[in-house]
Structure 1
Amino acid sequence: MPRDVQDIERPQQLVLRKPDPTDGSDVWELVRDCKPLDENSMYCNIVQAEHFRDTCVVAELDGRIVGWISGHMIPNEDALFVWQVAVSGKARGLGLGRKMLMHLINRDACADATRLNTTITRDNDASWALFRSLARHVGGELSDDPHYTRHEHFDGRHATEHMVTITLPREAGRAFAA
């Protein structure tokens, strides 16, 4: 029996791009839906999308925002700091986190980065898996140390954040394969 035209699955269109300020509210909603990520204000996400657009990524699937990475180059260092990685439940299992990270580290704005830094709490298994996968994929070394500690920085109200560092080895003028 032939399938109705409406029942035929069509391929989903994935687009990775720089954000713009009009994406701020959608990014804010996405982050709110991605526990255990810390929620920032909507205003923060709007400013990130405008001021740091060269080091942030939005992922759209069929025109809807399903992924977000906020980051920035650390001043006076050759390091890209990744603040948050958010992937909608609708896009999990597609390897979207690593695709967005690869897209980001291949951008001109990140060309001088010799390492990637991020902070992760010990209990965030999904983030550890993502960044270990990235390190293997690029052939980089991953190390971590306690950085923002529960009692010294968070007054006991947040778990210690470990500074994760991944070296980004690359041959001159060659981008990483996605």
Structure 2
Amino acid sequence: MTDSAEFQLRTPTVTDGQAMWQMAVDSATLDVNSPYAYLLWCRDFAPTSVIAEVNGVAAGFVTGYRRPDQSETLMIWQVAVNTAHRGAGLAGRMLDHLAAALLTDGVTHVETSITPDNDASRRLFAAFARRWDTALACSELFGAELFPDSHLAENLFRIGPLRVEEAR
């Protein structure tokens, strides 16, 4: 655990795609996308994502996008933190950073999907809602029967409204 590291939070670039893919692989919990997908994400959705670095080395990332039918909603796709930096509050700092940056551009809600067995993500997003002093609603997004494999159901966590006075 690194609790005294100086994290730099910034917008990812395509040169971060490889490190983001590797963090997803190393997480052993995320659904890993192709390396190409992370490159595209860094190109097309960089403004709605964040990467954290320590001494120029990737330490974590959050990928997100604005929902096409609800541009005020930021959908968080993945959150990853390198093992060496877990427990330092980095995931929460990245979420706060991203939400605060997008709040001035009209984002009022954050959504994510979490499987029922992912307690760490549930705690992360519950804590985010508490820090922002706003509501968190949970409902089923995709039932397990919709997946062609043994994937668990995905529950939708919707957090908001976010307000400027609550910005971290």
Name the TM-score class by shorter chain: over 0.9
Aligned pair count reads 164
Partner residue, 1:142 = 136
Partner residue, 1:63 = 56
Offset of residue 169 of structure 1: 3.0
Query: TM-score, length-normalised on structure 2?
Result: 0.92
Structure 2 portions without partners, runs of 5+: none
Percent identity between the aligned chains?
34
Q: Where in structure 2 are the equivalents of 1:1-178 lying within 5 Å?
A: 12-77=5-70, 78-108=72-102, 111-151=105-145, 153-171=146-164, 174=165, 176-177=167-168
Higher RCO, 1 or 2 (CA under 8 Å, sep at least 6)? 2
- Deviation string for 1:92-125 (max 9, x for gaps)? 1110011000110111476312211000001001
| Structure with the higher helix share, 1 or 2 | 2
Is the 8 Å Cα contact of residues 48 and 102 (structure 2) preserved in structure 1? no
CA separation in 1, counterparts of 2:166 and 2:9? Answer: 17
CA separation in 2, counterparts of 1:115 and 1:22? Answer: 29
Query: TM-score, length-normalised on structure 1?
Result: 0.87
Larger Rg: 1 or 2?
1
Structure 1 segments (4+ residues) deviating >2 Å:
108-111
> RMSD between aligned alpha carbons?
1.5
